Structure 1
């Protein structure tokens, strides 16, 4: 198969979170053309397996993409899949349809000379909004190790910090701004809380570095310039490391938040007939540097040490199945979610070869070779 053409076709199949069906159809058609028998599970994940045996390697990534924003802000249309000067442009080129196309190409290469064991392809839904697809699939997965195709410029990755979304609500009492004494303005108290956050103590991890506490939204309701608001809200993006307890972080924040209601919101997501509720807590993940599967993958790639992602991924949910999750994806992660998203076509071909090589090496190690 032509990995670039497949990736471009995937980019043209617009697939926002919850609307992945167009991309799923492309993957199914491409896989069938290669002689595989893909299927859709109850949430819309695309899956097929090559080979048989005791051990399994999973090649996985997500089909959904974040919104493209205004088309005029892009040098090239975000859903046209154009190749310009050796680069494939568009939403999802890096995050992460390029990786899915490369994984398909790797499956074709593996099928030409099947390794001992199983290699499973899995493309999931709704990663960008909480990981419903991976959470659902993890309940039945039995892979020994997974290669997750989030962008890494083809450097092997072994983990990331977690994310905790915290809201603080300050209740006020509405009044005309010309008579503020008739109401209760919640904004000053919220302001004091924001100022105090600058000194909020965070933990440090020897591998993942320092946690971070970043206010990302502040607003009031109603949004009127001549009204004392009845509600003021602030959102804090807290990136936490292993050893930090989300509930303990919340309690510490409540101590400095005054009369605010401090909480982690819960998200409800649905795909097909499957509904999931989960709090906006996205765990950290880390593979130890001396893990033999990690080091086998590094050897296959000719790399000396693995890196760390600065964003969260589906790795913790996939790992709940018992798999060791390693990261490897084409594209510069700094281009993800931007209007400059693009990936070198040569890197897509290189990714296909890398997925094949690492899969073979991992199955060899798992078999005891």
Structure 2
């Protein structure tokens, strides 16, 4: 059986796995899940299929150890963004100038290929601990794939193989969504003495929101992530031109760093609202909480971090830099489930862009590093 990560990556890129929650009518993960399950089964893995959402399966392959060793999970998503905007055939993997082009090659089928091959190679060493390979759905939208996996499977540590350019990602930002509903009072446009313009009042909140963002970014407190931030994303209000609007709804996003969460953000926004209301008795607004995804941070003292650092240093000839990502990843889900987690992946570029590629040599090196780490960690 061929355990070449580049040959596997070609196979994965050629399978349409566009996330249908991002792109209505997208192919979903069914076909690529079938492929990964068969690939792992052929290599002696115990294969589990998790499909709480119809047509959106995740696959977990387990190589059981002989006993007495630590367990390690590799985690990577195989859903992609749209192929419609890709320049050329997004499903035709082409190697040119040391790069493999195709949708998902960088984000993140290169990491999935490397971790599958690494697990298969490590399995042949007769390890004491279990190796789990989680190929998950839906990371590009709501990450229910990793949530479903983390609810059913545990490990002593995990490595998420999102692309990190062979650097160790030990922290990333989270986010919280809120709606701010500004209340006015409806009246005919000819009766200003009766109406309160909710849209105009919302403008006061938007000015204050910009000031809050400036204060946050002027005070970086995290060594890798700096500070959080906040911005308005959507605004809706009014019924027709001839009326004072009774309501204006502002949807905002607050990016968070460790130590911040929905409760701290709500308190922050309530303070903004209270300050405006103190100066303007006609200003009234309420908050409605939306989706929250927590920030992520793992301690340097965690065994998986120290071991991956040592092995990557040996393979790369230099110590990998530490990264703090501004975006959210599935690391936070695994860490929140009690699985110490670190992110380490290949090099490349063009994530979500018209042209996307993975550096061939970096995917091969990633497979080597992950293999050595699994062998050392699992015993």
Which TM-score band (shorter chain)?
Answer: 0.7 to 0.9
2:112 to 100, 103, 107: 100
Q: Which stretches in structure 1 are left out of the alignment for 5+ residues?
A: 266-279, 365-369
User: Are positions 1:292 and 2:297 aligned together?
Assistant: no
Q: Is the 8 A contact 1:140 1:321 kept in 2?
A: no
Aligned to 1:262: 287
Is 1:46 matched with 2:71? no
Give the aligned partner of residue 188 of structure 1. Answer: 200
Q: Does 1:157 align with 2:182?
A: no
Q: CA deviation at 1:309?
A: 2.0
How far is the alpha carbon of 1:174 from its aligned partner?
6.6
Match of 2:377 in 1: 362
- CA distance 1:29–1:174, change in 2 (3 Å): farther
- Superposition deviation, residue 35 in structure 1: 4.0
User: Is the Cα–Cα contact under 8 Å of residues 218 and 232 in structure 1 kept in the other structure?
Assistant: no
Partner in structure 1 of residue 36 of structure 2: 27
Distance 1:294 1:5 in 2: 29
Q: Give secondary structure in 1 for the equivalent of 2:328.
A: coil
Match of 1:269 in 2: none
Q: How many residues align?
A: 345
Q: Distance in 1 between matches of 2:135 and 2:12?
A: 12
Aligned to 1:86: 98
Residues 175, 75 of structure 1: alpha-carbon distance in 2 compared, 3 angstrom cutoff: farther
Name whichever of 195-204 and 112-121 sits farther off. Answer: 195-204
Contact in 2 for aligned 1:161/1:208 (Cα 8 Å) = no
- Tell me, which stretches of 5 or more residues in structure 2 are unaligned? 21-27, 274-282, 314-318
Which of 1 and 2 has greater Rg? 2
Structure 2 contact 254–265 (Cα < 8 Å) conserved: no
Change (3 A) 1:76 1:33: farther
Equivalent position to 1:348, from 363, 374, 377: 363
Q: CA deviation at 1:146?
A: 0.4
- CA shift digits 1:183-216 (9 cap, x unpaired): 6532222222121122214364343443322324
**Which secondary structure state, in structure 1, belongs to the residue aligned with residue 152 of structure 2?**
coil
Q: How high is the TM-score relative to the length of structure 1? A: 0.83
Cα distance in 1 between the residues matched to 2:197 and 2:95? 54
The secondary structure found in structure 2 opposite 1:288 is: coil
The aligned residue for residue 342 of structure 2 is 326
The aligned counterpart of 1:277 is none
Task: Establish whether residue 218 from structure 1 lines up as the match of residue 243 from structure 2.
Answer: no
SS in 2 for 1:168: strand
How far is 1:75 from its partner?
2.9
Name the counterpart of 2:179. 167
Partner of 2:256: 240
* C-alpha contact 1:51 1:114 (8 A) present in aligned 2: no
Instruction: Identify if the C-alpha distance between structure 1 residues 28 and 194 changes in structure 2 by more than 3 Å, giving closer, same or farther.
Output: same
Q: String of CA shifts for 1:113-140, please: whole Å, max 9, x gaps.
A: 2333211111122222332222222223
**Which of 107, 111, 116 is 2:123 aligned to?**
111
Q: Is the 8 A contact 1:172 1:230 kept in 2?
A: yes
Q: Deviations 1:210-268 (Å, cap 9, x if unpaired)? A: 33223242332469788765543333221222222421321221232342332222xxx
| 2:93 alignment partner, SS class | coil
Instruction: Compare 222-231 and 116-125 and name the one that shifted more.
Output: 222-231
Calculate the TM-score normalised by the size of structure 2. Answer: 0.81
